[in-house]
Chains A and B, each alone.
Chain A
């Protein structure tokens, strides 16, 4: 049997969302159809409102609400000498949760992945270089994902930023806190060895 045009349209639209296959799209569609009308309306209103009020920051490409620049870029207490580069806006939320970082951010909006057709032109690399040239950035901290694309992205940034004379650092990869050494895979353990730190006195 086939669905009515209206139902099929809903399934098709849901199916275009990332991570949602045809089966999940069907499941969500039927959930929404069975749900009380106000639930479905709340969802549609939330989508419409977010699309209307939220845009990308002109400077760092983070999500920005109520302005051309995001709240972090507008905050004068943020140190401009430290710039943390991430793949996506979600990563900013993760770094902010640590409450360890007081600098600013730059969102690449993706990772270097030639096989997917994503290169320098598809990422916000040019804008990053402009910022490094114009703002008084002393250190760029590369906080890309600890996976293949993240590593390649870090190498790409080093290639273009090093010649500009700025210090480029990368987040240390290490062992998950709370885990057992014997369960670590060899790559993670290898990285942790590479990035080992001095345990001497004077290490404050």
Chain B
């Protein structure tokens, strides 16, 4: 039973009763935490607007006996304003929150994951490349030790040309062993660069023919490991009429 301060990204919020909200947070030092914001839905609440999903905040919580901590103070660090003004980037940002909500464990500190999320949101706020989300998903997989093997054929060890990727096999495959889905040489290069630490370089370039392929692949690999579809991603391709 104690008060603690931390930095957090608001992942999700649910209504509770008449005026409260349950907030799911990913914190820098305490992992994923669920907190209650008391009275935050009232118009007069000072910190209601600061606890909306997609906000990066500095926060004080009180840990009682239960699973839910009580939020006692909130200050905004960044609210990533451009993401709300662009429906496509908004959906991508929510997909990243959704992925972290799935992967992160309750009260298990994971600074690296937290920093990755903050960096990805702030990059997406400035850069509308489809590869920001894809890059985040791939790095998230690597962080969990689930990155695909990209150097040689996972089945026979052969080198180039590698022409397919199979999530069940855990990586790329040569022409003789091919299974899973086809993989272009350009996409393989992009995957290697992103997982090799050159996401910044990839994002600085203009998007090429393999961008869409890597975007779809990164989501598919993550969904394969999560064993569920990401709702935010399913919504992205909808168009009226």
Contacts and interface: CB of A to CB of B under 8 A. Distances in A.
Given A112-B87, A115-B97, 16 more contacts: A114-B91, A114-B232, A115-B232, A119-B236, A121-B235, A125-B240, A129-B240, A151-B84, A152-B84, A155-B85, A155-B86, A176-B43, A176-B44, A185-B47, A185-B49, A186-B76
B52 interface: yes
Nearest to B12: A115
Interface string B48-83: 111011100000000000000000000010010000
Contacts of A176: 43-44
A3 interface: no
A187 interface: yes
Given A126-B241, A129-B240, A176-B44, A119 B91 contact: yes
Chain A residues touching B, range: 20 to 34
Contact of A119 (B17, B50, B52, B238): B238
A118 interface: yes
B98 interface: yes
Interface string B197-238: 000000000000000000000000000000000011011101
A133 to B, nearest CB: 10
Interface in B90-146: 90-91, 94-95, 97-98
Interface string B16-32: 01100000000000000
Contacts of A202: none
Nearest to A156: B87
A109 to B, nearest CB: 14
Contacts of A113: 94
A19 B87 contact: no
A116 B231 contact: yes
B15 interface: yes
A148 interface: yes
A115 B53 contact: yes
B2 interface: no
Interface of A: 19, 112-121, 125-126, 129, 147-148, 151-152, 155-156, 159-160, 176, 179, 183, 185-188
Chain B residues touching A, range: 35 or more
B240 A148 contact: no
B175 interface: no
24 contacts: A19-B17, A112-B87, A114-B90, A114-B231, A114-B235, A115-B95, A115-B98, A115-B231, A119-B234, A120-B239, A120-B240, A126-B241, A147-B52, A148-B52, A148-B84, A155-B85, A155-B86, A155-B90, A160-B240, A176-B44, A179-B44, A185-B50, A187-B49, A187-B50
Nearest to B52: A148
Contact of B84 (A114, A155, A179): A155
A187 B90 contact: no
Contacts of A112: 87, 90
Contacts of B91: 114, 119
B46 interface: yes
A159 B87 CA distance: 8
